[in-house]
Amino acid sequence: MMAGIYIHFPFCRKKCIYCNFYSIVNTKKIEEYTETIVNEIRQNNYKEFSASHSNVLTVYFGGGTPTLLLVRSLEKILNAIYENFNVDLTAEITIEGNPEQCSLEYLTALNKLGFNRISIGVQSFNNDILHFLGRTHSGKDALQALENAHKAGFNNISVDLIYGIYLRSLQDWKQELKTVFQLPVKHLSAYSLTVEENTLLYKKIKQKELPDIDDAISLQEMNLLMEEAEKNNFEHYEVSNFALKNYHSIHNSNYWNGTPYVGFGASAHSFTGEFRYWNISNVEQYINAIQNNKPCFEMEQLTPENQYNEYVMLRLRTKEGVDLKHLEKNFGIEKRAYFLQALQTIAPTFYRNHSHQISITKEGLPLLDFITEKLLFTGII
């Protein structure tokens, strides 16, 4: 089985203050890049994912800003995918978009192409916060984009929000959440603002131009987020993700389940279960390599210990948590014993053990990184 296909589109109009993903603001090579992705799909260096072997359950266009692409460019890429892979008739096909590109005409065309899920990078409805983050849309643009997506025929609409921002009060955050839950939104991804090296935010905080992140405020807002989501029947199914029943992100859920996927485009990753591949994070070098039919990726073989750690790390993020039976079946009775022994170093209020499933409680979620580190395999049993 194959989780799906990821297409990375690294172009942006402007780099956000917090962004540490590979993206560029020079959009001159968009058309050439589109053709190169089509060629990479046709070359298909991942033979184990060929149409005769796998059923593609999801297709995900991420970035960057995929909605900078013309409709005809998106159609070219989708056609190449359909021609080279066996895409399930019920596949979840997602595109990420920024509000300022989400006109009714454009979104209607995307829906007709076959996109049935859209993830809109709102981040906030507050103009001051949007300006601080370096976003190029307004709160009004965000509301209009969500209305347009609904009118265009998207039943599965996801919104991204960022919390832990010093400009916003707890009451302001509550109002933003209220706004989302009153809209025709089925899925919410909410992330705490984090400071990553090589970002403008990191530089400004280091130079004392901006205050550092206040962990206490972030925790308050995270708790409020969980409360409001529950009130509105949004299931907290992964640490940063909430959804109405039957609207979990299938694509991202398969990442957390460790199901194989293949990525196309500069900086895109692929995963077979045993091997991980990642394309070069440079648009020009990526284009040159594909045009000359040369490899554009690096790879690593995951050791059994790597695979164990990856399973534990990803599953602890989810509502279901770590399955002890799966742990023993796939990694051996010794690793299961190691996990349970390491679990004894964690306060019992931070996790629950239900039917062989070890999951993190609400009290434990703010300490997820600390807990995960304690449970990873670091040496000889």
Domain end among 198, 222, 256: 256
Does some domain include residue 267? no
Same domain, 249 and 161: yes
Does some domain include residue 380? no
Checking if the pLDDT of 1 tops 60, the result is no
The total of other beta-carbon atoms located within 10 Å of residue 128's CB is 13
Does some domain include residue 280? no
Beta carbons within 8 Å of 24's beta carbon, 6+ residues apart? 10, 11, 12, 283
C-alpha to C-alpha distance for 327 and 298, rounded to whole angstroms: 29
Does some domain include residue 136? yes
The CATH number linked to 309 is 1.10.10
The CATH number linked to 152 is 3.20.20.70
Partners of 359 in beta bridges:
352
Average pLDDT over residues 45-53: 56
Domain end among 256, 287, 319: 256
Same domain, 237 and 357: no
Checking if the pLDDT of 53 tops 70, the result is no
Look at residue 23 in the predicted model and tell me its pLDDT: 81
Q: Which domain holds residue 153?
A: 4-256
Checking if the pLDDT of 353 tops 80, the result is yes
Strands 86-97 and 269-271: unpaired
Does some domain include residue 277? no
Same domain, 252 and 310: no
Domain end among 256, 280, 296: 256
The total of other beta-carbon atoms located within 10 Å of residue 281's CB is 16
Does some domain include residue 370? yes
Same domain, 15 and 92: yes
Phi/psi of residue 164, nearest 5 degrees = 80, 30
Strands 241-243 and 117-123: unpaired
Give the DSSP per-residue string, 19-83: --SS-BS--TTHHHHHHHHHHHHHH-S-GGGSTTT-EEEEEEEEES-GGGS-HHHHHHHHHHHHH
Same domain, 208 and 356: no
The 10s digit of each residue's pLDDT in 70-89 is 999 999 999 999 999 999 99
Q: Total structural domains in the chain? A: 2
The number of helices, as runs of H, and strands, as runs of E, in the chain is 14, 15
Average pLDDT over residues 23-38: 91
Same domain, 314 and 196: no
Look at residue 367 in the predicted model and tell me its pLDDT: 93
Mean pLDDT estimate for the chain: 92
Same domain, 34 and 175: yes
Same domain, 145 and 249: yes
Does some domain include residue 263? no
The total of other beta-carbon atoms located within 10 Å of residue 155's CB is 12
Does some domain include residue 261? no
Average pLDDT over residues 281-305: 93
Q: How confident is the model at residue 221 (pLDDT cuts 50, 70, 90)?
A: very high
According to DSSP, residue 117 is labeled: E
Same domain, 198 and 323: no
Same domain, 108 and 186: yes
Same domain, 73 and 202: yes
pTM (global) more than 0.85:
yes
The total of other beta-carbon atoms located within 10 Å of residue 299's CB is 11
Look at residue 52 in the predicted model and tell me its pLDDT: 47
Same domain, 327 and 234: no
